[in-house]
Chain A
Amino acid sequence: MSFLLDLFTIAAVSAGAVFFLAGTVGLLRFPDALTRLHALTKADNLGVGLIVLGLLPHVEGVLAGLKLVSIWLLVLLASAAASQLIARAARRAGPPA
């Protein structure tokens, strides 16, 4: 059982790391602010989510697990709000000349 859980952790955390890597590559390579935001939010939403999911079998107690999940939910809220604000600022500023 613990072997299976370890396997699950490795798979989920690795998948999360892949999303972070892809998000970083997108942030560096995409052409404008909106597509870069798109890349960034994938790292925040799915990357952090998968890493939290992967760590859940290893936490001590329900409370610690809830803390991890709430960290993910807070990251979701913050990243969604921040990217909306950045996107609006980018749209107001217009495309770079």
Chain B
Amino acid sequence: MGTPLIVVEHVDFAYQDTLALEDASLVIQEGDFVGLFGPNGGGKTTLLKLLMGFLSPKKGKISILGRPPQAMGKQIGYVPQHLRFDRDFPISALDVVMLGCLSKLTWWGGYTKESKEKAYQALEKVGVSHKALAPFGTLSGGEAQRVLIARAIVDTPKLLILDEPTSSVDPAAEQSIYNLLVELNKTITIVMVTHDLQTVLDKVKRFLCVHRRVTSFQTKEICEHFALGLYHTPLTSTQHFSF
């Protein structure tokens, strides 16, 4: 067992009166590759925001490497869905990656030479260095998603968080993105929101179901539950669910 990277203990979170997470606990070890799933509105996004320090728990405690998430932002690489972005925004793929180096700006507000080199290397690593100078908005879905992954890893974070990285990406590109993530997982811990459990079954190491509470699954447990077409936490005798 490695050292725990993320520890979430009995966390409650509510938006005004709507409870999003209740008594959520989880531990993620360094080197893990976790698939996060659950119903819409089940609290996945809230959990990610808590991990990234954008929200603070109403109750309970979250620590990343023993420190509060707010202090660990630079240790986290975040990959949003590429569809969120304005395709007309005048920015090149390389400049998008450079946004991952913002914490290392010089006093006059420029990027260092080292940052530029790292950005190129990150693009090479994800396999789109030939598109470095292409406008971000002209990239295919798969390429754009890879550029966002490059941005997330350029500053060598400890944790990579991805929000459905393959939504609106064609199946071939999807497989190669997952293979890339498996490769990256050799050095980085990954937490990935996913809806397509079957596709990622042989990629991730385990699953967490977020449905107000958080439940851990081994990948071998997931098939039968998924076959039911239901997102639910284990059917233990003490819990009842209605859908």
User: Is the pairing of A and B real?
Assistant: no
